[in-house]
Structure 1
Amino acid sequence: MSAHHHDHHHSGERIGFAFFLNFIFTIIEFVGGVLTNSTSIMADAVHDLGDTLAIGLGWLLDKSGRKSADHRFTYGYRRLSLLGALLNGAILVIINPATKYVGFRASSLLRIKAWLAAKGDSLSKSHNAETGQA
């Protein structure tokens, strides 16, 4: 049987490459959203920024986790990558309901505005019909 080897140094480089690629794409998407005045592109850019920050946190803690043991951390820093996974998971658990709340409030406000606009249009047509205006 052959031994199974992991080359963790290269995985860190790949995470760094993914971070910078995602970061550059996020900037391009922000600029595109501003130039086209598109809220959907800007919203996706914010989403991509969150992904970039998560990848960056994982990359930073992966690099920090390679430090060897010292008098303070006798096991070493290897568990920092686990901390990164825990933090990313906690952030998702917190942000998911917050995002849904903001979206629900925004859609509720849009429905109220649409209802008021329709009611105002209806009142205006009723008033015009009563006064004989077109």
Structure 2
Amino acid sequence: MTPSHDHGHDHDHGAHDHSHVPDVGAGNEKRMAVAAALTGLFMLVEAGGGLVAGSLALLADAGHMLTDFAALLLAWFAFRVARRPADWKRTYGFDRFSVLVAFVNGIGLFVIAAVIAVEAVQRFRNPVPVLGDTMLVIAVAGLLVNLLSFWVLHGADKDNLNVRGAALHVLGDLLGSVAAIAAAVVILLTGWMPIDPLLSVLVVLLILRSAWYVVKESGRILLEAAPRGFDTRAVAADLVALEGIEDVHHLHAWSITEKRRMMTLHARIEPGSDGARNPERITAAIKARLKDRFGIAHATVEIEHDDCADAGDCGEATARRQEPATTA
């Protein structure tokens, strides 16, 4: 009689927690709130100074800081929402809300960059007088505020996508302040006004760099791609090396957030092996291997004894044990 399929989704309760309560650091939330307050307050000062001085570089940096202020506020709000536990409708909880926020922030950066670039072109065609001394004072103050904000975020969780994105935003502001200082010095020494829109273009490039990073990383998670640096083919081949496993297929890996990696897979057991008699043992071995070598703390493993239950759809990440060749 052919052994029956064991298609239960076995979980090793000692390997991870099934409550799906998010691990959201209160320190991240507080640091984000402080950085948002610093950025928002100085954004108003810089925007007013840019209007008084007639400096596009200051206005460009203020526009960048406006986006950063919104990004930091949303990131703070995302940490608040992520505190909520999972329920029957949202079984993974609210952690991915922070990833969605990061994606929206990144798209917003592209919009701000486009607005600044258009204004810079207009300034090149029709130069506007700039008050270099006023511009210099405000730019120096902005540099100090950005240094303080960057220091606040430096102590947060660097593996968190929102934190990393926020730090990049603040770093862009910091470099934007440096550009504004340079423009003010050139104007005071030479009176060459085109340096102001020229350096505002540099700020645009900084914005675009930050935007691309945030959109790319958050988009990867939202599209449920395999985690960065994670090769499902290599994982399948590694698991086949475990004793008693004949074949690994239907392997899928994705992330809820950058720190919460997930996986599902089918493992076919060799007939007559210890794993065939004790599927719980082989399931525990697979889970331990995934956690120790690949950082997967939550995996759903389906044990099979003969053909794949999902015939004709066994996934691309497939590995089969290679038996040594025999000679007649």
Shift of 1:91: 2.3
Cα offset, 1:38, TM superposition: 2.8
Could you say if the C-alpha distance between residues 39 and 108 of structure 1 is closer, same or farther in structure 2, counting changes exceeding 3 Å?
A: closer
**Counterpart in the other structure of 1:91:** 108
- Structure 1 residue 97, shift from structure 2 partner: 4.1
1:49 matched residue in structure 2: 66
**Match for 1:69: what amino acid?**
A
Given the superposition, is the C-alpha separation of residues 97 and 42 from structure 1 closer, same or farther in structure 2, using an over 3 Å criterion?
A: closer
C-alpha distance 37-55 of structure 1, shift in aligned 2 (>3 A) = same
Is residue 2:54 matched to residue 1:38? yes
AA of the residue aligned to 1:78: D
| Distance across 1 between alignment mates of 2:61 and 2:32 | 21
CA distance in 2, matches of 1:55, 1:103: 26
d(CA) in 2 for partners of 1:68 and 1:7? 11
Q: In structure 2, the residue corresponding to 1:74 is in which secondary structure?
A: coil
1:81 & 1:55 partners in 2: Cα distance?
A: 11
Paired positions, count: 104
TM-score normalized with structure 1 length: 0.62
Partner Cα distance (2:119, 2:49) in 1 = 24
Structure 1: runs of 5+ lacking an equivalent: 1-5, 112-134
* Structure 2 portions without partners, runs of 5+: 1-22, 128-328
1:59 corresponds to which of 70, 76, 83: 76
Please show how residues 1-134 of structure 1 align to structure 2 within 5 Å: 8-34=25-51, 36-40=52-56, 41-104=58-121, 106-107=122-123, 109-110=125-126
2:87 match: secondary structure: coil
For residues 90 and 24 of structure 2, the distance between their equivalents in structure 1, rounded to whole angstroms, comes to: 24
CA 1:31–1:110: 2 relative to 1, 3 Å = closer
Do the aligned residues in 1 keep the contact of 2:84 with 2:93 (CA within 8 Å)? yes
Identify the structure with the greater strand proportion. Answer: 2
TM-score where L is the length of structure 2: 0.28
More helix as a share of residues: 1
1:25-84 deviation per Cα after TM superposition (whole angstroms, max 9, x unaligned): 1122233334x3333333322221121111112111222122111232121101111111
Deviates further, 48-57 or 25-34: 25-34
Q: Which amino acid aligns with 2:117?
A: K
Cα contact 2:78–2:98 (8 A) shared by 1: yes
Greater shift in the superposed pair: 19-28 or 6-15: 6-15
Structure 2 distance, partners of 1:90, 1:47, is: 13
Percent identity for Structure 1 against Structure 2:
29
Q: CA distance change for structure 1 residues 7 and 91 in 2, over 3 Å: closer, same or farther?
A: closer
| CA shift in 2, pair 1:31/1:93, >3 Å | closer
User: C-alpha distance in 1, partners of 2:42/2:63?
Assistant: 11
